[in-house]
Every structure is written in C-alpha cells, then in structure tokens.
Amino acid sequence: MSKANREPLLHITKRKAMPWQQSWLIRLISIVAALIVCAVITTAATGLDPMSVYGTMLEGAFGTERKIWVLGKETAVLLCIAVAMAPAFRMKFWNLGGEGQVLIGTLISAACMIYLGDKIPSGLLILLMVVASVVVGAIWAGIPAFFKAKWNTNETLFTLMMNYVAIQLVAYYIIIWESPKGSGKVGIINQSTNAGWLPSLGSYQYLLNILIVALVTILMFVYLKYSKHGYEISVVGESQRTARYVGIKVDRVIIRTLLVSGGICGLCGFLMVAGTDHTITTTLAGGRGFLGVLVAWLAQFNPLAMVLVSLLLCVLSRGAGEISTIYGLNQSFGDILTGIILFFIIGSEFFINYKIHLRGGARKKGGSN
Amino acid sequence: MKKFAVLVLSLAMVFSFAAIMTSCGGSQPAEEESAAADDSAIMAGFICLHDENSTYDLNFINAAKSACEELGIEYQIKTNIPEGQECYDAAAELVDAGCGIIFADSFGHEDYMIQAAKDFPDVQFCHSTGTKAHTEGLDNYHNAFASIYEGRYLAGVAAGLKLNEMIENGDIKADQAKIGYVGAFTYAEVISGYTSFFLGARSQCESATMDVTFTGSWYDETAEKEGANKLIDDGCVLISQHADSMGAPTACETAGIPNVSYNGSTVDACPNTFIVSSRIDWAPYYKYAITAAQNGEAIDTDWTGDLSTGSVLLTEVNDQAAAEGTQEKIDEVKAQLESGEIHVFDTSKFTVDGKKLKKSYMADVDTDAEYTPDTKVVSEGYFHESEYRSAPYFDLAIDGIKRLDEAF
C-alpha cells in the first residue's frame, strides 16, 4: 500500500517525437553548456582566457585557406567511414570492423602502386586500385556477414577481430616493402613518378577526395531513403521476423548490406593512399574506423547529418592541435575539451528521446513543453 | 519553460557572437606579429612525432626552446604529427604562419618534408635522422644527426664498469655478464646504437655479451616494458634501450636491475637503477641552421654533430647505481675519442661471423628500395660511421650480440 504512495524523486519516460525546433534547441543548449563547462575548466587548469582559447580553436580549423582544405580532407575521411557504417548499423548489424576494412583497402591500393606503378599507365592503375580496394573491403566485411547470416555468429566480435587480422597483414607487408630495411617505414610510394596518385583538381590537392566522398554521401542518402534496398534494411533492422514474414530474404540483405558497407570502407582506404598520404602504415586509419561509428550514431544514421557531425569532430580535433601549438599546452588538454563537448552532445540526445518527471510533476497534467 | 528556453537561446547567441568576435579579434594581432617578425628575424617551426611524454620528443622540444630563446626568435612547435600527409600539412601550415625554417624530428617524416621542400623552395627544411638529403639534390632540404655512437660507446663504458663491479662482488660469474637491450626497429640507426654501446661495455668487461629484442615501434610503453622484463627473466643483468617511452627504465627500477638510459636522464623515476644516459643535444644544430638561414647562407646537406660541437652529451652519473670511478673513466675515454686515439668501430675490436671486416666492405649509404651496398666505409682500420651521410649506416651483426626477434 505504501508502495503505491511512494513516488520516486524522478522517473524517466520515452518521449514521442519532438518537433525539430525543440530538439535543435536542446542540442544548442547542450553545446552552450559544454562551452561554459570547458571555459571554467580552462580557466581553472591553465589560467588562460577561455574566449581566446575558443578563438584559437576556430582559428586552427578555419584560420587560413590551407587549414580549411585540411579540415575538408579530414572531414571527408571521417564522413566516408561513417557513411559506410550507416547501412550496417541501421540494420542493427554492429560493424566494428571499419578500421580493418579501411586498412585492407589501403593495403591493396599500396600493393597495386608498388607492384604495378611502372608497368601500366597511371589512369588504368587508378581504376584498378579503386576496383581492388572496393572488392577487398567488401570481402573483409562480407566474411563476418556471411557467418552471421548462415550461422548467426556474433558480428561484434567477428568484425572486431577482422581488424587485427588486417593490421597484422599490413604490418607484414610493411616489413616486405620498408625502406631502408628494418626501419618499419614504407615512405611515400612512387614519389618521383606519382604513379597511382589521384590528380589534383587545379591547384586543390584535396578537392577530388572531398568531391568523391560528397557523391558517396548523397548516393547513400538516396539509397537508404528511397531505394527498395534501403527499405529492406530498415525492416530487417526493426525486426528480422517481420522482415521474413513479409518475404524479405534476411540473410541476403545482411550480406548485401555489408558488402556495400565494406566496399565504401575499402574506397576510403583507396582515397587515403592514392589521394592524400601515398604511403601505408598500420595507423593510417588512426582509430577513425571506430570514430566513424560514433559519427553514424550521433547523426542517427542520416548521411546528411553525418556531414555536420564529422565536421564538428574534425573542427574540435584540429582546434585541439592548434591550442597545443599556440599555448604550448599538451594535446591532451584539447582532447579533454573535445571529450566534454562530446559528452554534452551525446547527453542532449538523452533529453531529446526521454522525459524526466520530477516527483509531484505528474499532477500537473498537460504542462508546458 | 518557454521563458527559460528564450533565456538560454539568447545566452547562446551572445556566447557564440563573443566567440566569433574574439576569434576575429585574436587573429589580427597574431598576423601582425608574424609580419613584423619577418622583417627583423626568421621564425622557426618544429614538427614532432609525439609530445613531451616521449623522451625522444622531449629532448627535441627542449632543444628547440633553448635554441630559439637564445637566438631571440619566434617559434612554433607542432606535436603529435603522424608520419603521413599530416606532416606535409603541418609543414605547409608552418610556412603559412611565416616560418622561414622548419625542422622535423622523426624518421618517417622525411618523404613528406621532401615533398614540402619541393613545394616551398624559399623555405629551409631540416630533417633530423633522415637519409635522403644527399641523394635528393634539393637546395633547401637538409639532414642532420650526431655521432651518437660515441655517446653510446661512453654509456657502454659505464655499463661495462657496472658489470665488472657485479663480477667482483660475486653477484654474477664472468660468463653471466649478459646485457639486455630493447630496440625499436632493425635498421642502421638502432643497430649502430646498440653495437657501439656493446663495444663500449666490452672495452671494459671482456666477457660481456648482449641480447637485443625489438618492439617494432618507436613509442610503445607496454611492449618496451615487456621486452625489458623478458630480457631480465632470460638472465640479463643490465638493461639499456633505444625506444622512446619510460617502459624499459621503469621495468628496471621495479626489478632492481641497473639501466643505462637514452634521450635524457631518467633518474627521477629510477633513482636506484639509473646509471647514466647518453643523448643528442639538438640545440647546437638548431642554432647553426637557424643562423645560417637568417643570414642567407647555405646549410650543410648533411650535418653531423659530435662531442666537440656539444651535440653528443652524457648526463650526470648516478652514484647510487653506477660503479665507483665511472665518471673518471668516461672522461678518460671521451678524451681518447676526441683525440682520435681510439675509434668506436675499430675493425680490430669486433668480428662478423668470426671474421674481421674487410677493407672492401660496402655499406648502404644511398637509400634505395633494394638496399644496395654502394659506399666503401672502412679505412685506416675503422668503420667510418656518419661521415658519408649524417644518419648512421653501420648495420652489421657483430659476434657477441644475439638478436632475439627481428620480425617483431
């Protein structure tokens, strides 16, 4: 009896869909709150003026034309991986293998450049690299998908372990290709001939990469939103039983979707090797295979929203680098600020999706909001 | 609720406006400053692979700061720059910021520095530890290193004396005088380092042998710690390292095994086991190169600092761990090295597969994908290290040293 009377101090219920103005207001509030907390921490920890620190961060991201291009390049890589993750995650297939799928793409691209660089014309070589990296990336994601579809193996562990296989393969080939021997460094591949390098559009070295990723992003948006495949992905993600009931071949959808997911990761690997870095290292993906998952989630698997999220993350990371250069702070300080801002943004999604009722609040039925 | 929202929204606008204003306001004076600095003095840029937590990068950062402050010039340091396109971007951004000379500290930065040197011919690019300047033929791209093999030889002397002390005290038998060495990679820079260290130790303790393990990374604290622990378990009674974290020194402190360190003193973290450390002081090179660039003079394509330029240093000896008379012995051997009385890679002091090194031996000095030996480096009874290019090229497997895991 007393049980019924004792209402908890607060309880949480799921909200119905919120008007977009309101949800964006909450997001805005969370960013402001994060900036205030960061300001307090900055002043307390370093004694610097937080406004000038923020100014420097923006400066680091947008300060010069070159910085904007670099930001675009970084954003393109992260966005490409996030876009690749989107269909798999929308299907509730937890693909944590982005890192490996990207790396295996970089590996095959580098192999083509090294072994075929002086044997076939560069245009043909680039074409071959694109096809090879997409195919190999697709295979890398397709293997766990096949096992998931046939024997319902755990895709989280499987894709995760495929990362390590890819890293070790790259490490193995680095020892074969390294120069000088024993240094563990491949260096820039075909630096004198530029064979297999993506051309610069005009004087804009990174423009082609950015355009390709923009195209992929738009295609993915259309694919998920308007195509039959996209619809099937959503249905399988909501309920595999429903999907089977309406006659969707679930195993086929799983494998097909992961081939797309891995293929785009492979393409991303190609873009890194042919478009920007022109080398291969085990850290070329640099954790972005995982960061891409975060981007995809934050954007709720909407490829267009991913543009904003990946841009935000790259602005923060470029800004963090800049404040470490300008103020001589350790890079970790910038990372702390980034962490706080991310924490608030992720937290805001909670307030968008759930409602908190304070004790006694329930009596005011139909209160504001 | 609505009132609150309006309040917060207006606050948000004020804050973002303020942020934009300060960012614009902040940028103005910075640009003016660098423009003003351009007229009077050059600005220097530094690119580091890691940050102060790496002993290697810390050594560079300290030298950069001290050199620039002594010369009274402005500088910018970019830390945590990976060995990829980021290095090129960082170099280009430093050019944009007004730097007239740019230094990078990690081996894998080299190709990206060369790329930047080609794109910005008016800016000087200096790369420490690199091997390609003498074959690239660019006027504005330069390599630098120091004859650190001499420093390591001296550190090896300290290690040899410690082994002798352990033998005399009866802690170990003469045939148990085994040194352990944690190396990063298997190329000349590391091989030259551990071989010179070993030759220094064996010059004092004839029965010394050495096991070398490799981590396959320049900074991997766990792997370095594990490597040191494995060597200690295998019966090594003294450890040294050529990798950049505190992994090996702290493993030694925990196990109570004496350690000869690198890149700088680790005595604060290892008061009971740290003996001595050799390191390169980059400040003399930085001062030389910046001054030359400032005066419009050519910078050496390959610059090798040595004991006389103050580029090769030994830290203070830690009496807590070192054998008695270590400092005196180091001073004595140092004088012999400087006078040319002894040479580190004296071909009468080591053998390869039981044989002495022939005069016709060729080393791979010009970097190429096939590792072609191209330069005769043995004359006057010793291997001429760091003379045909600044970066080391001694990569022989001499007898007495066992390499444990070359494939990492």
pLDDT at B33 over 80: no
Which residues neighbour B10 within 8 Å (Cβ) at sequence distance 6 or greater?
none
A365 within a domain of the structure (yes/no):
no
Last residue of a domain, one of B128, B159, B178: B128
Q: Which two tokens stand for residue B287?
A: 């001062």
pLDDT at B316 over 60: yes
* pLDDT value of residue A335: 85
Q: Which residues pair with B260 in a beta bridge?
A: B240
Nearest to A180 among B26, B114, B131 (CB): B131
Long-range Cβ contact pairs of B375-381 (< 8 A, separation 24 or more): B378/B347, B381/B343, B381/B346, B381/B347, B381/B348
* pLDDT value of residue A20: 82
B250 within a domain of the structure (yes/no):
yes
Angstroms from A49 CA to nearest CA on chain B: 10
CB contact under 8 A, A369 and B89: no
* pLDDT value of residue A80: 97
* pLDDT value of residue B174: 93
Tell me which chain B residues have a C-beta less than 8 angstroms from the C-beta of A367. Answer: 1
Task: Say how many CA atoms lie within 13 Å of A53 toward its Cβ.
Answer: 26
Tell me which chain A residues have a C-beta less than 8 angstroms from the C-beta of B212. Answer: none
Q: Are residues B50 and B163 in the same domain?
A: no
Range of the domain at A311: 17-354
Which residues neighbour B299 within 8 Å (Cβ) at sequence distance 6 or greater?
B124, B126, B142, B288, B289, B292, B293
Round to whole Å and give the CA distance between B306 and B384.
Answer: 14
Q: What single DSSP character describes residue A363?
A: G
A84 within a domain of the structure (yes/no):
yes
Peptide bond into A180 cis (omega under 30): yes
Interface test with B, best of A37, A51, A352 (most B CBs within 10 A): A51
Q: Are residues B246 and B212 in the same domain?
A: yes
Q: Are residues B153 and B123 in the same domain?
A: no
* pLDDT value of residue B6: 45
Q: Are residues B123 and B152 in the same domain?
A: no
Band (pLDDT 50/70/90 cuts) for residue B25 is: very low
Q: Are B44 and B102 in contact (CB under 8 A)?
A: yes
Task: Say how many CA atoms lie within 13 Å of A38 toward its Cβ.
Answer: 27
* pLDDT value of residue B146: 96
Tell me which chain B residues have a C-beta less than 8 angstroms from the C-beta of A29. Answer: 5, 8-9, 12
Q: Are residues B7 and B76 in the same domain?
A: yes
Continuous H helices in chain A: 2-5, 20-46, 50-62, 65-90, 98-116, 122-151, 155-177, 207-226, 228-238, 240-245, 250-270, 288-298, 303-327, 331-353
CB contact under 8 A, A321 and B78: yes
Chain B contact present for A32, CB below 8 A: yes
CB contact under 8 A, B188 and A184: no
The ipTM estimated for the assembled molecules is: 0.87
Chain B contact present for A324, CB below 8 A: yes
Q: Which H/E stretch holds residue B293?
A: helix B283-294
Q: Are residues B168 and B75 in the same domain?
A: no
Please write the tens of the pLDDT for every residue from A80-122.
Answer: 999 999 999 999 999 999 999 999 999 999 999 999 999 999 9
How many A×B Cβ pairs under 8 Å?
141
B396 within a domain of the structure (yes/no):
yes
Place of tokens 């947008």: A62
Q: Which two tokens stand for residue B233?
A: 């378990």
Last residue of a domain, one of B65, B95, B128: B128
pLDDT at B20 over 60: no
B136 within a domain of the structure (yes/no):
no
Round to whole Å and give the CA distance between B342 and B340.
Answer: 5
Angstroms from B381 CA to nearest CA on chain A: 27
Q: Are residues B177 and B323 in the same domain?
A: yes
As to burial, measured by CB atoms within 10 angstroms (0-12 exposed, 13-18 middle, 19+ buried), residue B69 is: exposed
B228 within a domain of the structure (yes/no):
yes
Band (pLDDT 50/70/90 cuts) for residue B4 is: very low
Q: Are residues B107 and B161 in the same domain?
A: no
Nearest to B19 among A51, A183, A185 (CB): A51
Range of the domain at B54: 2-128
Round to whole Å and give the CA distance between B161 and B344.
Answer: 17
Band (pLDDT 50/70/90 cuts) for residue B5 is: very low
Nearest to B8 among A32, A56, A180 (CB): A32
Band (pLDDT 50/70/90 cuts) for residue B12 is: very low
Q: Are residues B175 and B255 in the same domain?
A: yes
B55 within a domain of the structure (yes/no):
yes
Q: Which residue has the higher pLDDT, A14 or B384?
A: B384
Band (pLDDT 50/70/90 cuts) for residue B28 is: very low
Chain B contact present for A366, CB below 8 A: no
Q: Are B285 and B44 in contact (CB under 8 A)?
A: no
Closest CA to A57 of A331, A288, A296, A346: A331
Tell me which chain A residues have a C-beta less than 8 angstroms from the C-beta of B77. Answer: 325, 328
A24 within a domain of the structure (yes/no):
yes
Chain B contact present for A56, CB below 8 A: yes
CB contact under 8 A, B52 and A55: no
Closest CA to A301 of A237, A355, A228: A237
Chain B contact present for A288, CB below 8 A: no
Closest CA to B373 of B365, B381, B385: B365
Please write the tens of the pLDDT for every residue from B222-278.
Answer: 999 999 999 999 999 999 999 989 999 999 999 999 999 999 899 999 999 999 999
Q: Are residues B166 and B194 in the same domain?
A: yes
* pLDDT value of residue B408: 59
pLDDT at B26 over 90: no
Residue B104: which CATH number?
3.40.50.2300
CB contact under 8 A, A70 and B93: yes
Q: Are residues B99 and B178 in the same domain?
A: no
Residue A32: which CATH number?
1.10.3470
B139 within a domain of the structure (yes/no):
no
Band (pLDDT 50/70/90 cuts) for residue B406 is: confident
Nearest to A184 among B80, B185, B191 (CB): B185
**Intervals of chain A under pLDDT 50:** 1, 362-369
Q: Which of residues 164-203 of B touch A (CB under 8 A)?
A: 184-191
* Percent of residues in chain B assigned helix, strand, coil, to nearest 5: 45, 20, 40
* pLDDT value of residue B53: 86
Percent of chain B with pLDDT over 70: 90
Chain B contact present for A185, CB below 8 A: yes
Round to whole Å and give the CA distance between B362 and B140.
Answer: 29
Q: Are residues B203 and B321 in the same domain?
A: yes
Round to whole Å and give the CA distance between B185 and B403.
Answer: 11
Mean pLDDT value across residues B19-32: 40
Band (pLDDT 50/70/90 cuts) for residue B105 is: very high
B88 within a domain of the structure (yes/no):
yes
Chain A contact present for B89, CB below 8 A: yes
* pLDDT value of residue A359: 75
Round to whole Å and give the CA distance between A41 and A135.
Answer: 47
Total tally of structural domains belonging to chain B? 2
Total tally of structural domains belonging to chain A? 1
Q: Which H/E stretch holds residue A10?
A: strand A10-14
Chain A contact present for B43, CB below 8 A: no
B231 within a domain of the structure (yes/no):
yes
A3 within a domain of the structure (yes/no):
no
Angstroms from A59 CA to nearest CA on chain B: 7
Distances (CA, A) of A90 to A94, A121, A147, A220, B9: 9, 40, 19, 12, 33
Q: Which H/E stretch holds residue B232?
A: helix B221-233
